[in-house]
Amino acid sequence: MNREGTIVELTGLAGSGKSYVKSMIETALRDAGLPCDTVRLTPKDLVTPALPALVYRALKVVLLSRPKDLSRFLNSARHWFLVQLLYRKIRHRGSVAVVDEGVIHKVRALRRNSSFAFMFADIPLRWLDSIILPDVLVVVHCTAKDIVERRKQRDGIALNDMEVIVERSMNVTDQDARHLAGHAGTQVLRLDNSVGEGVDSQVKALVHVIAGLHVG
């Protein structure tokens, strides 16, 4: 079996059903006999010789995004550091872990805090070489209509005329995923969670890919 843990990261817009898909993948992994853990950070995880290197890597990526102010800089650096600490812990545990707020999620946060518009593709791959990246990135897709309807029901907010904005945001997520796919070692897969799509069969196929990576 793979000595290192396998990181499966989910990305998608709010309302695309990431939490639902995450639960399905975790159940399917356990049913397939694969070790699947819910990994959380504790204060003890901060006591590591890797701490300076993890802080340095987080600062390096965040500085590239040129945050608007010191508060946003510190907030972004903290989030990047924590996701790298989490991924390091997963690697050391040796099991499979499914994460729904990972690297791509943090890239979106960097954009919100940045003083200029940038894409994930603007982060040089040579910088990503020093970052722990997921083994599998699952892009959870959904029609803009379904996302708007789900957010109305879940959050109780009206999102009239939001479908065009949702479509644009999905395109940005796809571009981020394609850039990450260009990095050796990360496999990018798409899962359609729109109403009427066969999610069960897609999850089954996804678990087959994860099993091949983890055991192979």
Residues 124-160 pLDDT 10s: 656 666 678 899 999 998 888 887 787 777 766 665 6
Residues 6-62 pLDDT 10s: 999 999 888 888 999 999 999 999 999 998 988 889 999 998 898 998 898 888 888
Q: Which value, to the nearest 10 degrees, does the dihedral of the CA atoms of residues 161, 167, 169, 174 take? A: 170
Tell me, what's the pLDDT at 15? 82
3-state secondary structure the chain: CCCCCEEEEEECCCCCCHHHHHHHHHHHHHHCCCCECCCCCCHHHHCCCCHHHHHHHHHHHHHHCCECCHHHHHHHHHHHHHHHHHHHHHHHHCCEEEECCCHHHHHHHHHHHECCCCCHHHCCHHHHCCCCCCCEEEEEECCHHHHHHHHHHHHCCCCCCCHHHHHHHHHHHHHHHHHHHCCCCCEEEEEECCCCCCHHHHHHHHHHHHHHHHHC
**Alpha-carbon span 163 to 148, nearest angstrom:** 7
The domains of the chain are located at 6-37+48-215
Its pTM stands at 0.87
- Mean pLDDT over residues 167-191, rounded? 79
Question: Under CATH, which architecture does the 6-37+48-215 domain have?
Answer: 3-Layer(aba) Sandwich (3.40)
